[in-house]
Structure 1
Amino acid sequence: MTLNAPITDTPPAAEVERPTAQAISNFYEGMRPFWHPVLREADLSERKIVRVELLGVGIALARLNGEVRALRDLCRHFQAQLSLGEIIDLDGKDLVMCPYHGWSYGGDGQCERIPQLVAGRKIPPSAKVDSYRVTTRYGLIWVCLAEQPHFDIPDYPEWLDNSYRTVTMVEDEVTRTSSTRMIMGTLDDTHFPWVHEGILGTRDDPSPPEHKVWREGQYLVLQYEAEQPPNIATTDMSADGAAAQEKVKLVYTDYVGMPNVIRLVKDSVAGRYVVWLATCPNAYNRTTNFWAFSRNYDMQPDRDHAYEEFSAHVRSQDRPILESQRPWLIPPFWSQVELPLGPADKPLMEFQKWLEELGIVTQI
């Protein structure tokens, strides 16, 4: 059977391959009033323009007079991409110049130079492109498409804490899933024995932990105790005899910065290991992921590569599963497309419930 073959045994209202145009529109609208990471700061060099995509919108990023700016990547003139242009200097002010006819825009999106304009005629106020709220944090550039963000950018306290060693992981390709599916998959702990057997769990003991789930400001918080095989995410493997342990007891505390960031905190005898994921919803079925991993043990820099390889391996196990899920957008409870079961799936059910309240889980 091919990947696109129809599935006949589906619940009512299920649309397994592609959500409706209305559902996609509702997802984009629901996700607009939040900060989304779109690019690493290091990837936006001076005098360069970089195109990114957020919720189906093309955005041109540039540093203008030292400040990161975000403009709609379409010239007001004839809709050419501004990101194909260049940054020019006009009387000491940096502008983004369209490559087609030279129309040039300031950081607020207002056109300030039209080479073809006849003498004595002013640039019309309508010669303007959309500009978006933009800021930088945790080595990333964040954009909000709405005038006012619903929540602040979620906290990552270990990022600037010198008592932690932090490594980042760059994914060269987008993941073929929605950002909400990506967060849900990272929050889901009952898949550990099946997808990550021998690393995060074992199929000999697949019983779910006793979850505590609550809301705390803009965060959905999950806490539980678990036992896992010894590995660098639970154990200081540089210590003598560390690998000889059969199981390691630890406490998970997961913080979902609604709706697109998750921070998993694992406390064990070795110390604290943190998995941080910020997702960029390029489109309803394409997500760019920004990962970071912090630890306060095994602090030697030459050990970083081991943690990078471990994280990449775990990610490679998750990716094909997440990309296989349909529909791409999380369906609402009433549709009965999916069948979450309590109490094992309580964290996922609470996450989905909050998404619905935020208007992000919509009709399929």
Structure 2
Amino acid sequence: MSAAHEVRPYRDAFAPYWHPVAYSHELRDAPLPARLLETDLVLWRTGSGVAASQRYCAHRGADLCSGSITPEGLRCAFHGWTYGESGRCVRIPSQPQTPIPERARLATFHAAERHGLVWVCLSPEPAAPLPEWPELADTTTVATVPLPRLDWDIAAGRMVEIVLDVAHLSFVHEGTFGNPDQPEVPPYDVEKRSDGLSARIVYPALAPGVGGAPPRVDRTTLTYDVTFPFAARLSFKPTLFYPHTVYAVASPWSEEKMQCFYFASYHPRIRNFADLFVKSESAILEQDRRIAEGQRPRAHPLDFAGEVLVKADRLPIEYRRALTALRSGRPVDGPPLE
């Protein structure tokens, strides 16, 4: 790899991107702790939206998550120092007549709310926009249901790779929807874009039997759509049931640990979908977690030197190539390094 394409530190490479740090429903009237790329944050609601700043007070290092929200801003529980949305201290109760020091301010970060998530970008200028999932805006024809956050001891890229891996379905997910009798992965194409990847594959999933009947093979169309660096949308179109879509957005705590925000969209006419989804998908993801946390290294590999890859791995391969390009400052849709 040339000097121009040296691998950048993990935080430097991914700090310019938007990452989710909380579900919108978690952020209410009190400050909320969050963590992103080894940075401790406090989230809070303002009159104009959401704010994200350093977690600890500039005065004496108190945890601002123990504070409160006032009309002026975020108030520290230790001495009442209050910070406005810009991070600047606007009130010091112990000396109200004295000018506030210029250094009395918090580091603040870009924050936004979309798709039921609170997103943060740690860099002054985001390198890319938030993922575009326009179908979620129509709340009259689409309902959503989230899972509890997934805290896994693996890299965010490892999480996305297992979501994109068709070949594991028949083995890891036996007993849920995987079909152990039909493990072959037919050839498929991957569309490469500057902001992501797409692929479509038909999988012979096993649908549960009804009334004591054995499971039935349901040829399900799986449509994968990735937005770099760590957001995956997977649409399921079975022949026996209504379609639905899952969204998995991995948020890096560090290079070897992530939390994933995982939710589904579905048509409201599907009765009991929310309860069934939470129960079934939790079981499926637990199967994935056991495999993923056992992989080594936990950090996302930058090449394929320690692995033997085959054509069935094409989507995870293209995804890893793209993230390697991001780490080395190359165009993600350019030719791979030799």
TM-score class normalised by the smaller sequence = 0.7 to 0.9
Question: What is the deviation of 1:339?
Answer: 0.8
1:1-364 → structure 2 map (5 Å cutoff):
26-46=9-29, 48-65=30-47, 67-89=49-71, 94-117=72-95, 119=97, 121-161=98-138, 162-171=140-149, 174-231=151-208, 246-269=216-239, 270-296=241-267, 299-300=270-271, 302-333=272-303, 336=305, 338-359=306-327
Q: Equivalents in 1 of 2:87, 2:274: separation in Å?
A: 42
Q: How much is the aligned-residue C-alpha RMSD, in angstroms?
A: 2.7
Residue 312 of structure 1, CA deviation: 1.1
Paired residue total: 322
**1:254-309 CA distances to partner (integer Å, 9 max, x unpaired)?**
01111111001122334422111122212223322211122348612x34312221
List runs of 5+ in structure 2 lacking aligned partners: 1-6, 330-338
Q: Quote how far apart the aligned CAs of 1:357 are.
A: 1.2
SS at match of 1:229: strand
Alpha carbons 1:250, 1:266 under 8 Å: kept: yes
Amino acid across the alignment from 2:87 = G
What's the CA shift string for 1:21-77, capped at 9, x where partnerless? xx9x8111111111111111111112x111111111111111123521111112222
Residue identity opposite 2:232 in structure 1: I
1:242–1:189 distance in 2 versus 1, CA, 3 Å: farther
SS in 2 for 1:256: strand
Q: Percent identity?
A: 27
1-structure distance, mates of 2:212, 2:269:
12
Contact in 2 for aligned 1:31/1:360 (Cα 8 Å): no
Give the letter for the 1:284 counterpart: E
Q: Amino acid of the residue matched to residue 316 of structure 2?
A: L
- TM-score normalized by the length of structure 1: 0.80
Equivalent residues of 1:60, 1:83 under 8 A apart? yes
Distance 1:49 1:326, change over 3 A: same
Does the 8 Å contact 2:303/2:324 carry over to 1? no
- Tell me if the contact between 2:167 and 2:185 (Cα under 8 Å) persists in the aligned partners: yes
Paired residue secondary structure (1:359): helix
Distance 2:24 2:250 in 1: 15
CA positional deviation for 1:332? 1.6
Instruction: Note the residue ranges of structure 1 that are not aligned, 5 or more in a row.
Output: 1-22, 232-236
Q: Is the 8 A contact 2:35 2:253 kept in 1?
A: yes
